[in-house]
Structure 1
């Protein structure tokens, strides 16, 4: 399984986390996993919800959850934001 290391900024906790995500998974699956993971890592500052979104940290463009990670141009070092 090919994975990329990305930085996910979590505004609710004002922290960033380094996370490996698989290139061959749909963004909807990645969103659910990252949301649950950061909910645990943030010591209760963030609670995973069904309406969470992942977007590009620089532009704010929300990623299409129906596309695969590899199709979205996400690569090692990409900065994402979970809101």
Structure 2
């Protein structure tokens, strides 16, 4: 998720992105800033959170608190053209 920082910075207020940081390990992904956190358990949940879930599927094991709710509302899922998706 660290590679997405420029994308987040283009859509979020600087007060949020100035302290934004990321970590991962054992299939847990965490993003945090000085007044909020977002935790995602599992690779599938991470991909679905970032890119959108398939039809009839639901993202689970995502916990969001504080100002990280703003990141989720403004930035996720990431809008990517289908051409770029194929290149991933």
TM-score (norm 1): 0.30
Asked which structure has the greater CA Rg, the reply is 2
The answer to which structure has the higher helix fraction is 2
TM-score (norm 2): 0.29
Higher relative contact order (CA 8 A, sep 6+): 1
